[in-house]
Amino acid sequence: MNGLTDVMQWLERVLTAYRQGYFPMADPEDGRIYWYAPDPRAILPLERFHVPRNLARLVRRGVFQVTFDWAFDDVVAACADRQQTWIAPALADIYRALHRLGHAHSVECWQEGRLVGGLFGVSIGGAFFGESMFHRVSEASKVALVHLVAHLRRQGFRLLDIQFLTPHFQQFGAEEIPRTDFERRLAEAAALPVRWASDVRNLEP
């Protein structure tokens, strides 16, 4: 890429792919980036998000300090710090660039000034695409998820994409929908004039 104009054009193509329902993942072996649009697609319905009782008690106790967009680069690095990862360096660079454009965000959990868990994703209008989570202390990433959903609800988001259905997300009420249904919901959500409001700090869910 030559110059800022080329970079911006390339990032706009990335955002266009997200708007069409595609997301990137790098091959853990060679780092090549591929684009995926699974059918069915997993989402976490914001209006029916379920918080298990033990987790709700943990959130109320305030065991973690929760912040938004305080340490985006550190969250991405922590999510990528695994024996095998789909977050290749080139893909991490993409997310950092999207963050600086206001299209990628993080939720962080802290204890005694140490980053112990969090998540990050991409936002377009009223759609949020969850990308990855990590924890260094038990339940920290789940607490980050509870705060994320609470924030998305407050801001008027309509869609939380989690890509693939896993037992981890099923406990929160995640479900699979046909790709055509996902694309319809995505188009409606992405068109909404919703702000992430990255200046939020320590909001109670």
**Residue for token pair 């072996």:** 29
Tokens of 130: 């969850």
pLDDT in tens, the chain (205 residues): 455 566 678 788 899 999 999 999 999 888 899 999 999 999 999 999 999 999 999 999 999 999 999 999 999 999 999 989 999 999 999 999 999 999 999 999 999 999 999 999 999 999 999 999 999 999 999 999 999 999 999 999 999 999 999 998 999 999 999 999 999 999 999 999 999 985 555 544 4
**Domain range list for the chain:** 3-190
Q: What is the pLDDT of residue 6?
A: 62
Q: What contacts 161, CB < 8 A, 6 or more positions away?
A: 23, 41, 42, 43, 127, 128, 129, 130, 182, 186
Q: In terms of CATH architecture, what is 3-190? A: 3-Layer(aba) Sandwich (3.40)
pTM: 0.92
